[in-house]
């Protein structure tokens, strides 16, 4: 069965520093991977996806993610964090049938000024 | 703004009652998905409709049902409500294929 794991409940980083939010996955076949962000009392906003191709995927708001097949990871990164990046981040994988998204439990990112 | 709309934003009701949540997908998207977000279960897929037909089911209780209408809007019906049904319910839509899903702002259901 497809699954994703986000090993950190919370990541703390100072404004201006690089940030990484970790995600590992387990799939049968080719992975279709996604990152979403959720701000308080808001819906999920799509950040980026990996379907195929280049292992470094660029997304919205300066975020990027690195797909690593050998380590089955899809870590979210940003070179310079902003206080406004503070939110709940979800990694997701498309299920085997290509329908639902299977989400990790989420990682709270806190960026301090 | 994702283009997916959901009504109502908040719903407070009592145990045993029935409610209907409504979702309008992005223009042109034929697939609609329903998810439940709760503190203990996280984000869980409930059900998918594609162009009016049920396509996939996830962890959806028998007390819950959904449908998609000819204008592609969808409704999620929750009946015999229990305290544990209190959660945020999201609707998402997507075009064909393995593309990303676009989420609505959600409906927060509180069962008292």
What would the pLDDT profile of A44-78 be if each residue is shown by its tens digit?
999 999 988 889 999 999 999 999 999 999 999 99
Q: What is the pLDDT of residue B69?
A: 96
Nearest to B103 among A44, A100, A102 (CB): A44
Which residues from A are below 8 Å from B96, CB to CB?
A: none
Give the side-chain half-sphere CA count within 13 A for B3. Answer: 12
Give phi and psi for B83, each to the nearest 5: -55, -35
Q: What is the pLDDT of residue B98?
A: 61
Which residue of A32, A38, A43, A106 to mutate against B (max B Cβ within 10 Å)?
Answer: A43
Closest residue, chain A, to B38 (C-alpha): A105
Closest residue, chain A, to B104 (C-alpha): A43
Q: What is the pLDDT of residue A26?
A: 93
Bridge partners of B43, per DSSP, are: B37
Q: What is the pLDDT of residue B111?
A: 97
Bridge partners of A58, per DSSP, are: A64
Number of CB pairs, chain A paired with chain B, less than 8 A apart: 53
Is the predicted pLDDT of residue B82 greater than 70, yes or no? yes
SS3 string of chain B? Answer: CCCCEEECCEEEECCCCCEEEEEECCCCCCEEEEEEEECCCEEEEEEEEECCEEEEECCCCCCEEEEECCCCCEEEEECCCCHHHCEEEEEEEECCCCCCCEECCCEEEEEC
- Give the single-character DSSP code of A82: -
In tens, the pLDDT along A1-14 reads: 789 999 999 999 99
Owner of token pair 């808001």: A42
Q: What is the pLDDT of residue A60?
A: 93
Region A84-103: mean pLDDT is 91
Is the predicted pLDDT of residue B17 greater than 90, yes or no? yes
Contact A60, A46 (CB under 8 A): yes
Bridge partners of B68, per DSSP, are: B74
Contact A99, A10 (CB under 8 A): no
Region A84-105: mean pLDDT is 91
Residue B97 binned pLDDT confidence (cut-offs 50, 70, 90): low
A106, A104, A113: which is closest to A12 by C-alpha?
A113
Is the predicted pLDDT of residue A40 greater than 90, yes or no? no
Q: What is the pLDDT of residue A108?
A: 97
- Give the single-character DSSP code of A61: G
């Amino acid at each position: 069965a497809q699954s994703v794991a986000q090993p950190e409940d919370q990541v703390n980083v100072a404004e201006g520093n690089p940030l990484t939010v970790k995600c590992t996955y387990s799939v049968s076949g080719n992975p279709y991977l996604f990152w979403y962000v959720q701000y308080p009392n808001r819906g999920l906003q799509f950040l980026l996806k990996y379907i195929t191709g280049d292992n470094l995927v660029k997304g919205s708001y300066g975020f990027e993610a690195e797909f690593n097949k050998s380590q089955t990871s899809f870590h979210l990164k940003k070179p310079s964090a902003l206080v406004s990046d503070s939110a709940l981040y979800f990694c997701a994988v498309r299920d085997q049938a290509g329908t639902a998204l299977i989400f990790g439990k989420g990682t709270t990112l806190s960026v301090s000024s | 703004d994702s283009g997916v709309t959901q009504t109502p934003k908040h719903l407070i009701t009592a145990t045993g009652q029935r409610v209907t949540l409504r979702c309008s997908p992005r223009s042109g998207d034929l697939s609609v998905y329903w998810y439940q977000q709760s503190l203990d279960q996280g984000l869980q897929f409930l059900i998918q409709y594609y162009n009016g037909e049920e396509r996939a089911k996830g962890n959806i209780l028998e007390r819950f049902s959904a449908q998609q209408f000819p204008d592609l809007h969808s409704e999620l019906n929750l009946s015999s409500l229990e305290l544990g049904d209190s959660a945020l319910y999201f609707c998402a839509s997507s075009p064909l294929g393995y593309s990303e899903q676009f989420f609505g702002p959600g409906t927060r259901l509180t069962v008292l």
